[in-house]
A and B are shown apart, each in its own frame.
Chain A
Amino acid sequence: MHLQRQISASCVEGEKDSVADGTKFPYKLVDVLPKYVLNLGAGEYTSDYIGLDGGDTFSVPLPGSYTSASRLSCCFRSTGICRLVIVDSVHGSSTVLLKGTEGLTKGEHRGVIMWQGHITSISLQVPAGDPIQVDYVLWQIPDLTDPDSWQLGDQAIGYVT
């Protein structure tokens, strides 16, 4: 398996749908270059898109080959409010609220949470109320200093010979 990660963020001046000036970027984040592709072993990632009702609890399946001796990259997106209960073998237990909104009144703003840890378990708990949709991807971070962890070659987007 092979994985590419590219996270980008940019902030512009302007309100709602009428961005006043798209040329001023107080903040920009550009992740690694597209040519970098990680090699993953079998069973080193898991992902899904699920619907959860108010009051539901969901235990997130971790990749089958993963153990908490390695690090796991975790990313979740949610249409609403969700409680994440995270157990990390190094940092212990955490409870974090993930906030997103949907609908015409509050607007479509999905909440995102992303981190990299020695994860033992992740549980999603939805407060009583509206259902939410959650998509997630979890993958084991290989040894980033080992060349064998990378697929190197001509895979860059826009590469021209």
Chain B
Amino acid sequence: MIFTLFLSPLQQVWPDDVTDPAQSKLAYRFRGEDKYNILYQKIEQFELDDGSTRTISYANYASTQWAFIIARVVGEVTINTSGFDTNGSTPITGKLPIYGKEILPGIGILSTYNVSTFTVESHEDGSTVELYAAIAAADDDPLID
């Protein structure tokens, strides 16, 4: 089964008080209407205390594949990655912090490849994470057919 993911990141800035977002004069609008072919996905919800970690595992995953993660976080976590640079041989590591409160949860999005391991690490007691982990594919990927 193939899936299609629709992602719409919207952030808009106004110079004046906003009485009606549809009518107010915008200073800047960051808006995407993005669509992805999804080969595999899973959804996890979990809670981590400060210092705790949880590994994100993919089924039948090759590290050269296109990994896609969306995380909604109340608290603070980092998504830690280890893998290789664009040349496929130079090791690289990443640590992306995601922070938010109930009124404005942290949103983490990661569209990447060449990653061997993904780990969620908590930096605050009781951090709750709603995690979507997927493998995406370009239109010409033979795995779609």
Contacts and interface: CB of A to CB of B under 8 A. Distances in A.
B43 to A, nearest CB: 5
B94 A96 contact: yes
B13 interface: yes
Contacts of A108: 35
Contact of B85 (A40, A77, A95, A110): A95
Nearest to B134: A11
A3 B104 CA distance: 12
Nearest to B72: A29
Nearest to B43: A27
A47 B132 contact: no
A101 B5 CA distance: 15
A141 B99 CA distance: 10
A65 interface: no
Nearest to A15: B2
Chain B contact residues: over half helix, strand or loop, or mixed?
strand
Interface in B16-39: 16-22, 27-28, 30, 32, 34-38
A75 to B, nearest CB: 6
Contacts of B99: 71, 116-117, 141
A145 B16 CA distance: 22
A23 interface: no
B6 A10 contact: yes
B114 interface: yes
Contact of A5 (B19, B104, B130, B132): B104
Contact of B41 (A3, A11, A45, A109): A11
Nearest to B113: A99
A101 B112 CA distance: 11
A137 interface: yes
Nearest to A73: B11
A109 B35 contact: yes
**Max chain B Cβ within 10 angstroms of own Cβ: one of A7, A36, A137:** A7
Interface string B121-145: 0000000001010101011100010
Contacts of B6: 9-12
Contacts of B9: 7, 75, 77, 112, 114
A36 B35 contact: no
Nearest to A44: B13
A11 B113 CA distance: 20
B54 interface: no
Nearest to A105: B140
Interface of B: 1-22, 27-28, 30, 32, 34-38, 41, 43, 66, 70, 72, 78-79, 81, 83, 85-86, 92-101, 103-115, 130, 132, 134, 136, 138-140, 144
Interface of A: 1-16, 19, 26-27, 29, 31-32, 34, 36-38, 40, 45, 47, 71, 75, 77, 81, 83, 86, 88, 90-92, 94-101, 105-118, 127, 135-137, 139, 141, 144-145, 150-151, 153-155, 157, 159
